[in-house]
Structure formats: structure tokens, C-alpha cells
Structure 1
Amino acid sequence: MKEIIEIDAIDRKIISIMQSDSSKSIQTIADQVNLTVNPCWRRIKRLEQAGIFGKRTVQLHHAKLGLRITAFIMLRTDQHSAAWLDQFTQAVNAVPEIVECHRMTGSVDYLLKVFVRDLTHHDQVYQRLIGLVPSLVDVSSTFSMENLKPGAIIESSTY
């Protein structure tokens, strides 16, 4: 397990700003946290090197791209070997509609988050998945009616 990084109130402000809009210039961020550019840049680099910031990406609105359905696929397997997990991981990474994959506790082994156009597209993803992954005992899906809290912003009061 990696070491927890000590951060102060300014780091928290920088993290909050970067989560909201990572495209802001260092000058804009520095102004918002009352620092000059160089100390702000050094803090951002320290947070990046510590692994607090992952890669910077653009948040897509999948529905505007025609991917209107969010499905959660629950998988159970009777295989738990390292070799099977490696094959499963490769299969999941080969299916671009799968945007998240979680290994779970409880009655479900894996939970996949999938964006698809419609039910036909979902069935195509399902067929591709079961063709790539052996030894699935149960595959079931549930569909999101509405996302009430989109985005992945973590409030500074939690860290």
C-alpha cells in the first residue's frame, strides 16, 4: 500500500480546482489559491509525482455521442486463478464499451459499467464478453434510469 501524502489547505484548494477544470492555466490556479506561479506549479508537480493526480482527461457526455444507456453487468465465475484473472482483464480491456470494472465482495465477483447505444448494442457487448471470457457462472445486467450524481469530484472535507 502506498504512503498517504500530507497535504495542506492550499493543496486542497488546488486539488478542488483541478478536479473541477484541469484545463485552467497555472496562473489562474495560482491566483485562486493566492500563490505566485512558481510555487503553485511546484505544488501541482508534487501532487502529480505523489500519484494524487492521475492522467488528465476530458469528461465526455456519452449520451451526446449516442451512448444513451448505462448498463451495469454483474458477473460470477467459478474460476479465481491468476491465469483466469489475467485472461479476464485482457478481455475487459478489449471491449471499449466497458468503462469500469470492479472486483467485488459478496455474491457478485465483478461489476462492469458499460455505455451502449441501445439494447441491441448491449446484447452485442454481452455476446462479445461471454465469447472472450470462459467459466462465467452467471451474467446479469441492470440499467441506470438516471444518474443523480455525475462526475467524480471528491470534496476536500473527505481527505
Structure 2
Amino acid sequence: MILTILQEDTTIPVAEIGRRVGLSTTPCWRRIQKMEEDGVIKRRVAVLDPAKVNAKVTVFVSIVTNQHNEDWLTRFARIISEFPEVVDFYRMSGNIDYLLKVVVPDIEAYDTFYKKLVSRIDITDVSSAFAMERIKEATALPLSYMQLDAVAKASK
């Protein structure tokens, strides 16, 4: 319940969180600290409106490579980490090897990003899909799986 509340709004005072979950402030604070120490809570951040910070265009970039060795992946990951435009980066199964989520102000900014990327590392194929509309955006993870995991561990 604490995680559900924090995923909605991390600015809620601990005393209020405790009240909502039936704990006094100190035990609630200890549970939050323990979840931070255990890495359950990785960090607390502000979620920004992309349009208000001039990051209006979202591009999903599919990458295929013929390089499938650790050295190439390490170099590729380092290069990608240097691009602040890349907000998500995944190694995939299936027909594409990597998927990037890139946010930029406009098509010209994406073209600049693209040219920098392909000049820095060999890629077999790059395909871009521009999001036309953001229909759902969530930062909260579904927590029902946590309960299933606890039940599975308890039955072992």
C-alpha cells in the first residue's frame, strides 16, 4: 500500500502515508527507508510534461546489428548513454536487436540525433516510428505481481 501511494505522489508527507496504511509515522518511515535500502524504491523523481519542456516528438527507434558480441554491446550501451534524448533503451528478442525511445523537440532534432548515432557506431539497420499521439502514459508499476511473488516464495 505504501508503494502504491508513493507511485502516485512522492510528496505526500510520511505521516499522511502512515495514516492511509494504518501505521504511525516512525514505522512507516522505517518501511520506506528499508525499501530504499533494498532497492525496491530506486529513486524519487518529478514527471514532467513533455510539451512544456520542448520534448514534443517521441520516436521509437528499432536497431538491427550483425554484431552480437560483448565488446560491441558495451561500446553501444556507452554511446547510447551519452545521448540525453534516449529515455529508454532495451535489448529485444525477435526481429530487432535494440529498441530506443527518443524524445526531441521536432523532426530536425531527431535527424541530428540520427546522424550523430550512425556516425558513432556500425548498425545494420535503423528504423524510426514517430508517435502520433500519447494515449496512455504511466510511471507506476503494477504491484499485484509482488503479492503473487510473496505467495510463491511462501509456498516453497
Give yes or no for TM over 0.5: yes
Q: Would you say 1:129 and 2:117 are equivalent positions?
A: yes
Instruction: Identify the match of residue 106 of structure 2 among 118, 121, 126.
Output: 118
Matches within 5 A, 1:3-152: 13-134=1-122, 136-152=123-139
CA RMSD of aligned residues (A): 1.1
SS at match of 2:40: coil
Alpha-carbon distance between aligned partners in 1 of 2:142 and 2:98, rounded to the nearest angstrom? 27
| TM-superposition CA deviations, 1:33-92 (whole Å, max 9, x none) | 121011101111121122111111111111211111100000000111111111101110
Alpha-carbon distance between aligned partners in 1 of 2:90 and 2:118, rounded to the nearest angstrom? 17
Off by >3 Å, runs of 4+ in structure 1: none
Matched-pair identity in %:
36
State the number of aligned residues: 146
TM-score by length of 1: 0.87
Alpha-carbon distance between aligned partners in 1 of 2:15 and 2:120, rounded to the nearest angstrom? 48
Query: 1:4: which partner in 2?
Result: none
Letter in 2 for 1:81: N
TM-score by length of 2: 0.89
| Unaligned residue ranges in structure 1 (runs of 5+) | 1-12
Letter in 2 for 1:144: A
